Amino acid sequence: MSETETVEPDLQQLTDDANMLIAKALATGADAADIVISKSGSLSVSARLGKIENTGQSENDGLSLRVFRGKRVASVAAKAGLIRKEGDALIERAIAMAGSAPEDPHAQLMDADSIASSWPDLDMYDHQTVSADELAEAALALEQIALDVDGISNSNGASAACGVGGMVLATSNGFSGAYLGTRHSRSVSVVAGTGTSMERDYDYDSRTHLADMRTLEDIGRTAAQHTLERLNPRKVETQTVPVLFDKRVSASFLGHFAGAINGASIARGSSFLKDRLGYQVFRSDVTIRDNPLLSRRGGSRPFDADGLSQGQLDLVEAGVLKTWLLDGYSARELNLTSNGRASFAGSNTRPSTTNLWMEPGQDTPQDMIKAMVKGLIVTDFIGHGANLVTGDYSRGVSGFWVENGEIVFPVSEMTLAGSLPEIFASLVPASDLEIRGATNAPSLYMEGLTLAGL
């Protein structure tokens, strides 16, 4: 790889190497085997106050080989570049380890008739190359756009990055597949005010294709606007108020929800939703979906880590929880069928979301604000205060105070507290869903959360 560009992995060579190792494992005594090979490279440039601060380049490659002997399984990991030189030693080590491993009735490959034989082209690879010089130019321009806005006094810096990654999965039950993906990102953080009255904020964008990126002008000016709006924050008295979670932060509730319906957590009994399948969890106007087969989206993948290619899951319909997120392992633990949500997690698989979103509602955020006599708009969270075992919820917040339907001043250093079951049951989606990244939600309104202030 040169110092100015990322290089596309040779997927055909990697696939041939993977299938070769599987064949050798079976010939050496394994009852079944699978292998995951990943290769990626990235290039990033950061700038601050008109100067390039850092140019970074990274390369990663690795393989994970699992072998099965009866109900025993073991895995070994190594650099993908060593597969031909050390493949035989890896196989011998994995088979020896499997021989002494404890039995695990749930660790097995998927049935051959369930694995994918074809999948759609998701247009995840951007053929437009970007050099380090072009990234530097973008970072410098982005920062300057934000600094040129009246009232912005300093910068925490801007960055521009691009990357490419390839993934290969081969299994002894007949699956062999590979895919490539690219990622472009731009971000900037600036400061307004002076002394002890300084505030900072940011904006960013991340896409698989550079052509889909928001303009530098949009990102820079939005970051400056967010920063200026935070100047001179206040606190209010402790009280129970209606809250509007801005779309910049609302997706965090989908993250909590996804964690609570993860099949691995359900199998362990470590989720506050473990007994809620088939029950009303959200309001009847809430629908939550997950779909890995969307074109040019950050969470897309043509097949999962078990070799399944399955499309959209409606996780919540009319507020009712319809399914867990399942890979093959957690599905067998729960005596269910995998819904194709296995992700690569080191030497094993784990259920995960792909492109996750909540469908938008009817009312605009502005309509919701106008209905508030007194209330809070949350634009930023501080810390992590969600307990997915008990459902307890407490997080530091900042944002804006509303009186008589109008924003009157910014607020900061306050805490919201409640329980996730009650929050989920009360959330009202606004109409402003925006797709940015893999997990997205519109602004979300709810009545009656406890706000700890003065």
Alpha helices in 269-388 (DSSP H): 328-333, 365-370
3-class DSSP state of 104? coil
pTM of the predicted model as reported, rounded to 2 decimal places = 0.94
Place 29 in a pLDDT band, splitting at 50, 70 and 90: very high
pLDDT score for 430 = 98
Estimate to the nearest angstrom the gap between the alpha carbon of 49 and the chain centroid: 30
pLDDT for residue 5: 56
Given a cut of 60, is residue 1 above it in pLDDT?
A: no
Kindly indicate the confidence band of residue 3, based on its pLDDT and cuts at 50, 70 and 90. Answer: very low
Structure-token pair, residue 329: 């392992």
CA distance 400 to 365: 13
Tokens, residue 420:
């996730």
Q: Say whether pLDDT at 2 is over 60.
A: no
Each residue's pLDDT tens digit, 45-87: 999 999 999 999 999 989 999 999 999 999 999 998 888 888 9
What lies within 8 Å, CB to CB, of 113 at 6+ separation is none
What residue type is 440 in one-letter code? N
- Strands 320-321, 199-207: pairing kind: unpaired
pLDDT single digits (tens) 334-373: 999 999 999 987 668 999 999 999 999 999 999 999 999 9
- Closest of 443, 372, 444 to residue 401, by C-alpha: 372
User: How confident is the prediction for the chain on average, in pLDDT?
Assistant: 95
pLDDT at 177 over 50: yes
Q: With bands split at pLDDT 50, 70 and 90, how would you rate the model's confidence at 115? A: very high
Q: Which one, of 136, 137, 157, 162, lies nearest residue 147 by Cα?
A: 157
- Give residue 7's pLDDT: 60
Place of tokens 């055909």: 12
| Mean pLDDT to the nearest integer, 209-228 | 98
Q: Report residue 401 as tokens.
A: 């105070």
Least confident of 12-16, 277-281, 442-446: 12-16
CA torsion 222-400-244-390 (nearest 10°) is 110
47 compared with 4, residue with greater pLDDT: 47
With a pLDDT cut of 90, the percent of the chain lying above it is 90
What is the three-class DSSP state of 86?
helix
Q: Give the number of residues written for the chain.
A: 454
Task: Tell me the pairing of strands 392-403 and 374-382.
Answer: antiparallel
Q: What is the rounded CA–CA span in Å between residue 280 and residue 255? A: 19
Give 454's pLDDT tier (boundaries 50, 70, 90).
low
Cβ atoms of residues 435 and 357 within 8 Å: yes
Extract the tokens encoding 68: 């099965």
Helices (DSSP H) in 6-118: which residue ranges? Answer: 11-28, 83-100
Using CB atoms within 10 Å of the CB of residue 155, give its burial: 0 to 12 exposed, 13 to 18 middle, 19+ buried: buried
**Lookup: tokens for 370:** 């106008």
Find where tokens 């040169």 sit. 2
For residue 351, list its beta bridge partners: 342
Take residue 318 and report the two structure tokens written for it: 């009319």
Backbone angles phi, psi at 445, to 5 degrees: -110, 140
| Residue-range domains of the chain with CATH | 11-222 (3.30.2290.10), 233-251+360-452 (no CATH), 260-356 (no CATH)
pLDDT band at 195 (very low <50, low <70, confident <90, very high): confident
